[in-house]
Amino acid sequence: MTVRTTHGGRRAVETNLREPETSTTVRPLTAGQRVARAARNGGRPTLEFTERVPYDTYVHASTLHTLQQPLSDDPGEMSFLVVSQIMELYFGLTCHELRQAQRDLRADRVWAALAPLRRATLHLEGLNAAWRGLRWMTPADFNRFRNLLGEGSGFQSAMYRHLEFLLGLRDPALIRPFRRQEQVHADLRAALAVPSLWDDVVALLARHGHDLPADLLARDVTDEHQPHPAVEAAWVRVYADSGPDNHLRMLGEALTGVAEEFGDWRWNHLKAVQRTMGAKVGSGGSAGLAWLQRSMARVVFPELWSARTAM
């Protein structure tokens, strides 16, 4: 354990940034081995291990709990920091699921794609629930440590950019802040160079017999998708068949769940900003609330929503 001095001259305690014991690999067990161990233990949990406990070997909890390094001794800052880190993990987890859905759709495995999309929706529900941990924060609460954040802003989250790019919200200018982080920048450039999930869905509709123009299917995927009447018409036709074997309709509903939860996250973000800083300028140089309001006008999977008017 070490003691450090914060920017305001206060002293704060933090743990050393290392894992307490030697890392080992998780040793697999069969069902029979688990039964035998339980019998030897008389039904009680195992309490003695020759090395690091297996849970920590797998989860790396001892590492996770060293990653919170608040810049002040204000008790509320820890909530802000932990919730931000939780959201980063959910961004990454949701991206993981959406990429799996992409692989399934590119292989025409529509039924298989439903599971990762449904999981992504549930992860986004968890992401939205994380905002509740900050509902206590008033402007006075935030102001106690806000200045110490400097220009740090959620706008600078690279994993959030990956999530936006996967969902079809694409602005190449938004990767510029990462130019000095070579690997992060390269990963974002690579994400922009491949089709979004929505691009893959549009291509799937075409392969399933829906008449979509060639220029739409061959467009530059680094540009943000613009709503197209042919895609809207395709979804109207898909939803016209309410039979139990219409996997495309099920896909539409799974995608709607993802888009709805993501839209809720953006709305919850806007409300959190209103609650904690009103219409002040953002820490990262943006107009803050006004910037978020403009960004919400960009709709995820737009034709899935507009098609409902014609259904």
Q: Residue 3: what pLDDT?
A: 42
208-246: b (≥16 Cβ within 10 Å) or e:
eebebeeebeebebeeebeebeebbbbbbebbeeeeeee
Q: Residue 16: what pLDDT?
A: 46
Q: pTM surpassing 0.75?
A: yes
The fold adopted by the segment(s) 77-310 is Methane Monooxygenase Hydroxylase; Chain G, domain 1 (1.20.58)
- Residue 206 corresponds to which amino acid? A
**What is the domain partition of the chain in residue ranges?**
18-64, 77-310
CA proximity to 276, closest of 288, 284, 293, 264: 288
Residues contacting residue 265 through CB under 8 Å, at least 6 positions apart: 124, 127, 128, 131
Query: Which tokens go with 252?
Result: 């539409």
pLDDT in tens, 192-244: 999 999 999 999 999 999 999 999 999 999 999 999 999 999 999 999 999 99
Work out the mean pLDDT of the chain and round it to a whole number.
89
Residues 97, 123 contacting (CB under 8 angstroms): yes
The annotated binding site for heme is made up of: 269
The annotated binding site for substrate is made up of: 146
Low-confidence winner among 77-91, 132-146, 272-286 (lowest mean pLDDT): 272-286
Largest Cα–Cα distance in the chain?
69
Is residue 12 pLDDT above 80, yes or no? no
Is residue 14 pLDDT above 60, yes or no? no
Query: Which tokens go with 75?
Result: 């008790």
Q: Residue 106: what pLDDT?
A: 98
The annotated binding site is made up of: 146, 269
pLDDT in tens, 94-139: 999 999 999 999 999 999 999 999 999 999 999 999 999 999 999 9
pLDDT in tens, 258-279: 999 999 999 998 888 888 888 7
Label residue 5 by pLDDT band (50, 70, 90): very low
